A and B are shown apart, each in its own frame.
Chain A
């Protein structure tokens, strides 16, 4: 990012066209609909992982048109921040294609991945901002950090501080944020991986709270990062832009979090794909993000493993892989919880499709975020293993896997099996999975191997 670029963004945020937010939403919805039609973008329920480069490129062009036409809505000023096509293309061309995450022997290089790319995906564990209790959050983080195939640590959202409720923007948010940064730092140290990248401290909802986590000694180091969020769809505010400024100056990793909704302003799958790619452009142009966390969820189910979600991930991944150099990370969100086979099937679909279509991996966001402490390190291990086993697969193979696995959990999308909380599936003394959960993991892994997935790729 040029040093004066934030000054320019602030100028545009204050002088761009004024618009009420509902008018922006309507403009966006109508423009997306028109672009989907103009570019002939169609969802095919019989092929959830299209091997169609032309489709991927049309989705990118539609997203570029959308981003240039409507811009980004600044909720603070109620104005649209707009950019010319040349500006957007120049910034996309300059975007980072790889980033070193973490330090020392625990550092990994997360790279831009291509379609059907043989290089392995970097693995970020959960929790993915899902709710955790004060008691079990440290153990959940440790269960993730100690997994050998996990490269980077996620964060849970803890809503209390010594039992007191944390309110956003309050002193307890500052204390909770500093505590959770310390808990994450301790988790990677206890796992024997003190330099592992930590990708967020999720308790804080304000810039002040996030900044409180920055502490080279006991919190987030410059080799860590935190999320700079977009509000759905294509919206930002001064609090988020302030996070960019803070991380930029601190030297920390800027993580662009977008949470597009299947069935939201983008509408059905084609429009959601278009706006999702446009969201990534926002992350490049406004946030100068080091990597982009694509946290797609269905408006009704809060997951991305239903047929529409699988198709959107497949198409968005390919559109970004073919038309940008950016480092993209797919956040696998599932409706099921630990201690269920459905969770593992959902994770397998996300890992296969995401890996083949150009993403790095994150997961899992379990139970759609509806249950506290329903997350463990074992599903992160499973995602990493399935991802590695998918490196030699084609898009047609991935489509076949999606069709094969969907029937194993599809009925539970509307009637989810939320599973069990951490202390019921992990031994809280040894921080190892209990026999029942481990046996389920082995059974599903054996089942996938029996169907032809070749585990054991380096």
Chain B
């Protein structure tokens, strides 16, 4: 069954405006109308959140709007994923990204923005927070079957910890099992390439494109 225009429009608008209550109501209505929850995700939710991400990247909206859209999406996802599970089906994320701010670095706003944008584009994100030890990246990558391990570092003094994390993956023979990427204020493409990372991005939109490229490679 195709998604009626009225539900599509209301859900999309509510997600873009970050109106969690309205988004939840539209999602419940979609489920009551026996619409395919997977179709609601792929045809309405992901395009709406992609639009939010694009607006943020262009500077048309700011972090609060992005956060509120993220909150609305989370509320909607809970219902849609429960319905998918009840049908005995599973959601298929674009890929699984384990991410965090490296050990010693407490600056996490950039990492949070990237996490929100990745979720908006259909990735499953396991956010380890800030000040994450190398072994925690490794454990989480293994436990979650990650495709990508993403590290963020703002300060030049914490940048070596990204390298230490990369080296740990090498030492335990796990380097080739995951794509390891890095970003943050002090990181340049040259540094990331020389250190041996699989990718670097200067901003959130670039990080999404990078992750899409990397999961397609895998």
Q: A residues engaging B (CB < 8 A)?
A: 22, 25-26, 29-30, 32-33, 75, 131, 157, 159, 165-169, 173, 203, 205, 231-232, 237, 261, 263-268, 271, 299-300, 302, 369-370, 372
Asked whether A29 and B64 contact (CB < 8 A) given A165-B160, A167-B104, A205-B158, the answer is yes
CB atoms of B158 and A168 under 8 A apart: yes
| Pairwise interchain contact A159-B63, C-beta atoms closer than 8 A | no
B157-A263 in contact (CB<8A): no
Nearest opposing residue in chain B for A368, CB measure: B185
Decide: A33 and B64 in contact? CB cutoff 8 A. yes
Known A-B contacts A26-B71, A157-B157; the reply to A231 vs B106 at CB < 8 A is yes
- Interface set, chain B 158-204, CB cutoff 8 A to A: 158-161, 185-186, 203
A169 and B63: CB pair below 8 A?
Answer: no
Q: Does the CB pair A157–B185 fall under 8 Å?
A: no
Contact between B63 and A205, CB atoms less than 8 A apart:
no
Report which of B67, B104, B106 forms a contact with A237, defined as CB distance below 8 A: B106
> B64 and A205: CB pair below 8 A?
no
Report whether A370 and B185 are in contact in the complex, using a CB–CB cutoff of 8 Å. Answer: yes
Of chain B, the residue at the smallest CB distance from A233 is: B109
> Do the beta carbons of A26 and B158 come within 8 Å of each other?
no
Please tell me if the beta carbons of A264 and B62 are within 8 angstroms of each other in the complex: yes
B150 to chain A, nearest CB (A): 18
A414 CB → nearest B CB, Å: 9
| B46 contacts A by Cβ under 8 Å | no
With CB as the reference atom, state the residue of chain B lying closest to A32.
Answer: B64
Knowing A75-B106, A232-B109, A261-B109 are in contact, say whether A299-B157 is a contact too (CB < 8 A): no
A267–B63 CA distance with the chains assembled, in angstroms: 6
Q: B189 → chain A, closest Cβ, in Å?
A: 12
Which residues of A lie under 8 Å from residue B203 when comparing CB positions?
300
B159 touches A263 (CB 8 A): no
Question: Complex Cα distance A157/B65, Å?
Answer: 33
With contacts A232-B109, A268-B62, A369-B185 taken as known, whether A205 is within 8 angstroms of B104 at the C-beta atoms is yes
Q: Tell me the minimal C-beta distance from B16 to chain A in angstroms.
A: 16
* Interface check B91, CB cutoff 8 A: no
Could you say which residues of chain A place their CB within 8 Å of the CB of B109?
232, 261, 264, 299
Which 3 A/B pairs are nearest by Cβ-Cβ distance? A168-B104, A29-B64, A159-B156
Chain B residue numbers with a CB within 8 Å of A167 are: 103-104, 157-158, 160-161
Is residue B88 contacting chain A, with contact meaning CB distance below 8 A? Answer: no
B59 within 8 A of A: yes
CA distance A299 to B62 in the complex (A): 9
Which residue of B has the minimal Cβ distance to A261? B109
A372 CB contacts on chain B under 8 angstroms: 156
* A29 B104 Cβ-Cβ under 8 A: no
A299 CA to B71 CA, complexed, in Å: 21
Contacts of A169 in B (CB 8 A): 104
Task: Give the B interface residue count (CB, 8 A).
Answer: 25
A203 and B104 alpha carbons, distance in the complex (Å): 13
Task: Assess whether A265 is in contact with B64, with CB atoms less than 8 Å apart.
Answer: yes
Please give me the residue from chain A that is nearest to B160 by CB atom.
A165
A131 to chain B: closest residue by CB: B156
Choice from B62, B103, B104, B112 contacting A267 with Cβ under 8 Å: B62
Contact residues in B for A25 (Cβ distance below 8 Å): 67
A74 CB to nearest chain B CB (Å): 13
Residue of B with least CB distance to A369 = B185
A157 to B158, CA, bound (A): 11
Cβ–Cβ < 8 Å partners of A32 in chain B: 64
Closest chain B CB from A419 CB (angstroms): 17
Contact A205 B155 (CB under 8 A): yes
In chain B between 51 and 74, which residues have their CB closer than 8 angstroms to a CB of chain A? 59, 62-65, 67-68, 71
CB–CB A166/B62 < 8 A: no
**Of listed A159, A302, A370, A372, residue having the most chain B CB within 10 A:** A159
What is the bound-complex CA distance between A267 and B61, given in angstroms?
8
Q: How far is the CA of A30 from the CA of B19 in the complex (A)?
A: 11
- Chain B residues near A268: list those with CB within 8 A: 62
Can you spell out 15 A-B residue pairs with CB atoms less than 8 angstroms apart? A157-B156, A159-B157, A165-B159, A167-B161, A168-B103, A203-B157, A205-B106, A205-B157, A237-B106, A261-B63, A265-B64, A267-B62, A267-B64, A268-B62, A299-B62
**Known interface pairs A131-B186, A167-B104, A168-B104. Does A265 touch B157 (Cβ–Cβ under 8 Å)?**
no
Query: Are B62 and A263 neighbours in the complex by a CB distance under 8 Å?
Result: yes
Contacts of B155 in A (CB 8 A): 157, 159, 168, 205
Q: Which of B112, B160, B203 has the most CB of A within 10 A?
A: B160
Q: Evaluate contact between A271 and B159: CB separation under 8 angstroms.
A: no
Q: Mark B103-145, 1 if CB is under 8 A from A, else 0.
A: 1111101001000000000000000000000000000000000
Question: A169 CA to B71 CA in the complex, in Å?
Answer: 35
Is B106 a contact partner of A263 (Cβ separation < 8 A)? no
Least Cβ–Cβ distance between A33 and chain B, in angstroms = 6
The residues in B between 77 and 111 inclusive whose CB is less than 8 angstroms from any CB of A are: 103-107, 109
Report whether A265 and B68 are in contact in the complex, using a CB–CB cutoff of 8 Å: no
